[in-house]
Amino acid sequence: MTIKRRQFLAGAATAGLAASASTFPKPAIAQSRVEWRMVTTWPKNFPGQGTGAERFAKTVTEATEGRLVIKVYAAGEIVPAFESIDAVIRGAADLMHATPYYWPNKSKALNFYSSVPFGMTTPELDAWMNHLGGQELWDEIYDQFGLKAFHAGSTGVQMGGWFNKEITSVDSVKGMKMRIPGIGGEALAKLGMTIINLPAGEIFAALQSGAIDATEWVGPYNDLALGFYKVAKYYYWPGMHEPGTQIEVTVDKKKFTALPKDVQRIFEACCRNENNLLTSEFNARNGAALETLIRQHNVQLKRFPNDFLQAYGNAAGEVIQEMRDSGDPLTKKVVESFLKARRDLMNWARIADQGFMNARLLDIKFPT
């Protein structure tokens, strides 16, 4: 067989294989589709946190082009609000939209990932989380339960709460029953209050019935929606108990790491996006809502007396010290990391933020 003949036969064979292959349909490139159930600790369509959860789910679904679809369930639709974390741990849900200080039975250190009395503001917490080791320690805590968490918004500095009698001194709160979670509640217990924790949907009825004498929730935007002005007379500030309460989106870690890498990155980016949107939403809505409460509903705005604030701050410091000395190594690491970040960031905020705020309050002729 000549070289030319061998080349012809080889070419014919190759062509035959190509023709044969062309008779079969090309396989479709399958896009995996994952559906997740997200439980929340908020009432359905609740302004701010509830609508933020819906917005986050919609954003993830659209950004992944339907590869990850998240369906939102309000408190009570699958589990009660305070059972959300256990629903994710046991697989009844895939992720939750909540705030970490609702889970002190899992770790007391989780308080530092919601808010701490006299602690850090939202921008300061972001600095700790993103650049000063806060996220890494949070990962250590939730690794114990097979979870992975992201911050997804903040309510900012809150109001001090709703009271049925005036607070004229630190002794005024003794014997009162108040709905307040976290370190803030533990500190008030040291001042003689009885502390009760309730989800949003149960607070109004408890205040109306007299089961509690006072409550804090968030601030004017949320509090107006919940109607507290109908059953409480005095609205106190400042919200020293929660200067920057954080919202979490927390997911089953195995399910998260099983996602394609690009979907994981999209999910993370959507958390950062919601962190900005929800935080700015509270800043945008609180001022107008406060005006409505005062002008339309005759709410009496009151400032806590200084002796109460001083005593409350000292009590909060005692609680934090007790947590550091509890014997749990991870809690101690979180407390010490948080306190160092607070100290360093306060030094800068005193010059920058506080300095600017004080200057802005001067009698400056500025257009209104």
Query: Looking at residue 72, which CATH number applies to its domain?
Result: 3.40.190.170
177-179 and 214-215 strand pairing: parallel
Query: Are both 82 and 223 inside the same structural domain?
Result: no
The answer to whether residue 314 sits within a structural domain is: yes
Same domain for 175 and 321, yes or no, is yes
pLDDT digits (tens, 9 = 90+) for 242-258: 999 999 999 999 999 99
pLDDT tens, 311-351?
A: 999 999 999 999 999 999 999 999 999 999 999 999 999 99
- 250 lies in some domain: yes
What is the structure's pLDDT at 130?
A: 97
List of residues 6+ apart from 272 with CB closer than 8 A: none
Q: Which of 284, 314, 336 is the last residue of a domain?
A: 284
| Spans of the chain, pLDDT less than 50 | 1-30
Q: What is the dihedral of CA 42, 129, 183, 294, to 10 degrees?
A: -60
Residues 235 and 221 in one domain: yes
Q: Please tell me the total count of domains within the chain.
A: 2
Residue 168 maps to a domain: yes
In a domain, 22, yes or no: no
In percent, the amount of the chain with pLDDT more than 70 equals: 92
Interatomic CA distance for residues 92 and 85, integer angstroms:
10
Range of the domain at 187: 161-243+296-348
**Adjacency order of strands within the sheet including 214-215:** 194-196, 177-179, 214-215, 161-163, 234-237, 300-303
Which of 284, 311, 333 finishes a domain?
Answer: 284
Question: Quick check: is 96 in a domain?
Answer: yes
Same domain membership, residue 204 and residue 76: no
Whether residues 217 and 331 share a domain: the answer is: yes
**What is the predicted pLDDT for the residue at 31?**
63
End position of a domain, from candidates 254, 284, 314? 284
Would you state the pLDDT for residue 24? 38
Question: Which residue is it, tokens 């080889």?
Answer: 10
117-153 pLDDT tens trace: 999 999 999 999 999 999 999 999 999 999 999 999 9
Q: Is residue 64 part of a domain?
A: yes
Pairwise CA distance, residues 129 & 8, whole Å: 69
Verify that 181 and 328 share a domain, yes or no.
Answer: yes
**CA neighbor of 243 nearest in space, from 152, 156, 359:** 156
Q: Are residues 75 and 189 in the same domain?
A: no
Q: Residue 214 sits in a domain of what CATH number?
A: 3.40.190.10
- Claim to verify: residue 87 and residue 149 sit in the same structural domain: yes
Could you tell me the CA-to-CA distances from 319 to 161, 312, 345 in Å, in that order?
Answer: 21, 11, 21
Residues 209 and 119 in one domain: no
In contact, 210 and 225? CB cutoff 8 Å: no
Tell me if 15 is assigned to some domain.
no
Q: What pLDDT, on a 0 to 100 scale, did the predictor assign at position 183?
A: 98
Q: Is 132 helix (H, G, I), strand (E, B) or coil?
A: coil
Same domain (yes/no): 121, 238: no
Is 197 in the same domain as 51? no
Q: Specify if 129 maps to a domain.
A: yes
What's the confidence (pLDDT) of residue 32?
Answer: 80
Same domain, 230 and 96: no
